[in-house]
Amino acid sequence: MNRSTATAERSTATQLSLLIVDDDEPFSESLLSALRAQGFGATAVDSCAEARAAMATSRFDAILVDRKLPDGDGIELLRHRPPGDDAEFIMITGHATVLSAVDALKKGAHDYLTKPLDLAKLTSTLGHLTRTRALKSELRELRAELISGGRFGALVGRSAAMRPVFELIARVAATDASVLIEGESGTGKELVADAIHHLSPRRAGPLVPVNCGAIAESLIESELFGHERGSFTGAERMHKGFFERASGGTLFLDEITEMPARLQVNLLRVIETGKIQRIGGSEQIPIDVRVLAATNRHPQDAICEGRLREDLFFRLAVFPIVVPPLRDRIGDVALLAGHFLGLLNDAHDTRKRWAADAIAELEKRAWKGNVRELKNAVYRSYILADDVLHAESAIETSNGKANRDAPLAFPGRVGTSVADTVRNLILATLEEARGDKRAAAKLLGISLKTLYNRLNVYNASRT
């Protein structure tokens, strides 16, 4: 007998298609009603034979099956599923034993529930399945996109050096594991963090990026953990730190080795306990945050130099990902140069193109500043070109042959506010100095402390 509240084909990204296999008709009808009330599409059958027939003609996301059926053991459906069937099995039985539960899980069941059914537990299980199926579907699309066009979310590349990075992102994204992203400056570590967050169950929550090297040492503790009103001079109101602002989402700590050693102790404690204490406060505040970190230094060198505590390293590096430099990404320079030019053409409604021999010339360069340097070089070439971009303008600038004494281009448009113009100038100068804050401060004619204070303001405004 086949009873259906909705066809299996109506499954959407947020609605699972379910098959119930149970010969207890009152139980099945009750379960169908409960699932229908929650918006799931469900079909019910009462034997292994009918279940096989349904599985042969329809696609289900999950199968809720009793172990004891009139014509066999429900677990056998899992072992003899049709080719390509990837439905998750949830075993349901009124005759539960520890051995039968372990046996079902060993044979591949996703979960094991007992009668009378705990509807809250089932809802939680199905909610997790919904998120997992959506993530798997997105990962399949991303892998197809990578094969066809060299894209993995915001990351661009199809070189042999980048494929392991994409695979690691795909594997770790669905977990809550801490990730330490290593790589030279300009390799795209923030894009890796972005991909991990947006492929994770936390993607509906915030991704809060924090540049540990851009916050003045005197402020970083308050910025990370928050402070209570009156806790120090100038603390006129309660302030939530980055950890609280990232609740339910992901906190990305860039340049982790620039964080003062004394604060690394506090950071380790917060990660391990899942609680923070604001400056001047006594309350331990629970937080639900996944922590990703990045460094452009070799971790072992940073540990030896006293820039990174070894215990914090081991806590962060549950799952390390090393992003290769551009010089090791054979073939990706051409892909990236075309990608960046395409973005500029789209943004400015132009049809500029590379000269016939330009890409070959770009591929000969070492690109010590990695993808960031190439991106900037493409932008400069784009500005200088009327219709056709030549490699010389990009290569000469990136190779240091451009006039270093020449002033930076005006960092904005006429009519831009003074505050925005100053911000753009500071950030453009920092980029020109390749992240060297001391050099940037010297170029700007301001103190290093002033530069840190301004960067702290800009970093806070992003969240």
Residue with tokens 């993995």: 152
The reported pTM is 0.64
pLDDT tens for the 463 residues of the chain, in order: 555 544 333 333 347 789 999 988 889 889 988 888 888 888 899 899 999 999 988 888 889 988 888 888 888 888 778 777 778 888 887 765 666 666 777 777 778 788 888 888 888 888 777 777 777 777 777 777 776 778 888 899 999 999 999 989 988 988 888 999 999 999 999 999 999 999 888 988 999 999 998 888 778 888 888 888 777 777 778 888 899 999 999 999 999 999 988 889 999 999 888 898 888 887 889 999 999 999 999 999 999 989 999 999 999 988 999 999 999 999 999 999 999 999 999 999 999 999 999 999 999 998 999 999 999 999 989 998 889 998 887 776 545 444 444 444 555 555 566 677 778 888 888 877 777 888 887 777 777 777 887 887 777 665 5
Which domains are present in the chain?
3-135 (3.40.50.2300), 161-318 (3.40.50.300), 327-391 (1.10.8.60), 418-461 (1.10.10.60)
